């Protein structure tokens, strides 16, 4: 099946620094990728939809200047958490949409990145 990777899998950083998370579709091209945030024992919260070659679409309440998304190629999207603070600590998961496969617009998920801001 389609594989999506994320890097890093976990990161610890100091408050005020920026952290970049990469999401790659390894064996398919993804014109659309999604970034989610998940708090402990809670469901996924969609943060933004990332479209290749255009600006990301952010969900209501998500600060676009805080969470910078770049989708420069059909296989790579990046999420940069700028000036991270402890409240940004969370599990960030990306997914990539495979629009060509037989399963409709199936989303395949990365393994997630756990961010801890000290």
Partner 1 sequence: GEDVEQSLFLSVREGDSSVINCTYTDSSSTYLYWYKQEPGAGLQLLTYIFSNMDMKQDQRLTVLLNKKDKHLSLRIADTQTGDSAIYFCAVSGGFKTIFGAGTRLFVKA
Residues that bind partner 1 (CB under 8 A): 1, 4, 6, 42-44, 91, 93, 95, 103-112, 114
* Length, in residues, of the chain: 118
43 vs 54 by CB, closer to partner 1:
43
Both tokens of 113, joined, read: 């990145």
Instruction: State the residue for tokens 């199936």.
Output: 106
CB of 4 to partner 1, least distance (A): 8
CB of 16 to partner 1, least distance (A): 27
CB of 31 to partner 1, least distance (A): 11
Q: Are 36 and 44 in contact (CB under 8 A)?
A: yes
Q: What are phi and psi of 73, to 5 degrees?
A: -140, 175
């Amino acid at each position: 099946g389609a594989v999506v990777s994320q890097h890093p899998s976990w990161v610890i950083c100091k408050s005020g620094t920026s952290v970049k998370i990469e999401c790659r579709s390894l064996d398919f091209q993804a014109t659309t990728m999604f970034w989610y945030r998940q708090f402990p024992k809670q469901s996924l919260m969609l943060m933004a939809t990332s479209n290749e070659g255009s600006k990301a679409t952010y969900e209501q309440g998500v600060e676009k200047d805080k969470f910078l998304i770049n989708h420069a190629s059909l296989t790579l999207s990046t999420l940069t958490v700028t000036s991270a603070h402890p409240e940004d600590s969370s599990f960030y998961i990306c997914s990539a949409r495979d629009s060509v496969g037989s399963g409709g617009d199936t989303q395949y998920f990365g393994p997630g990145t756990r961010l801890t801001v000290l």
